[in-house]
A = this chain, B = another copy of it.
Amino acid sequence: MSRFRLSDQPIDAATLARALADASAGACVTFEGWVRNENAGRLVQRLDYQAYVPLAQTEGERILAEARQRFALVDTACVHRIGALAIGDLAVWVGVSAAHRDAAFAACRYIIDEVKQRVPIWKNEHYAGGESGWLHPDNTPVK
């Protein structure tokens, strides 16, 4: 039961959230990362995600396992898109269910922060005017 997944197809957030349900879960926190039309003052038209798939899979699972160990969770899952995305597309989804909301909020935040820092996925933004560029974890351009 792989809880971290890379997907080249649109993410179905509602189905993913439902799968976290359990009679003992009182709280569910989700994070959705959407493609914005602007970054660092430049107009973004679309973007591509590239991934080192097997290592991204391993590292993503490791992050979810860390979250389960650190926080009192019922369940958690994460899906990250790869390939070409348009403005408004859902790029990454994180969901956490727990008995109580403290753990659910903290774990959801932990997972998205770690995914952005550690999982080998790269974002290439395409700007108005035809330029494009790879980004750092803080969304500043590479070089």
Contact residue among B26, B32, B105 (Cβ-Cβ distance under 8 Å from A17):
B32
Given contacts A30-B30, A99-B36, A112-B101, contact A87 B23 (CB under 8 A): yes
Q: Nearest 3 A-B pairs (CB), nearest first?
A: A14-B14, A26-B36, A28-B32
**0/1 per residue, A7-51, Cβ < 8 Å to B?**
000000110010001011111111111111110000000000000
Interface residues on chain A, size class: 20 to 34
Given contacts A14-B14, A112-B101, contact A21 B34 (CB under 8 A): yes
Number of copies: 2
Chain B's nearest CB lies how many Å from the CB of A128?
13
Chain B's nearest CB lies how many Å from the CB of A78?
14
Given contacts A13-B17, A101-B112, contact A34 B30 (CB under 8 A): no
- Whether a CB of chain B sits under 8 angstroms from the CB of A88 is yes
| Most B C-beta atoms less than 10 A away, residue of A29, A99, A112 | A29
**0/1 per residue, A87-105, Cβ < 8 Å to B?**
1100000000101010011
- Whether a CB of chain B sits under 8 angstroms from the CB of A109 is yes
**How far apart are the CA atoms of A24 and B32 in the complex, in Å?**
14
In the complex, residue of chain B having the shortest beta-carbon distance to the beta carbon of A21: B88
- B33 contacts A31, CB within 8 Å? no
Residues of B within 8 A of A33 (CB): 26-27, 101
Which of A72-131 touch B at CB < 8 Å? 87-88, 97, 99, 101, 104-105, 108-109, 112
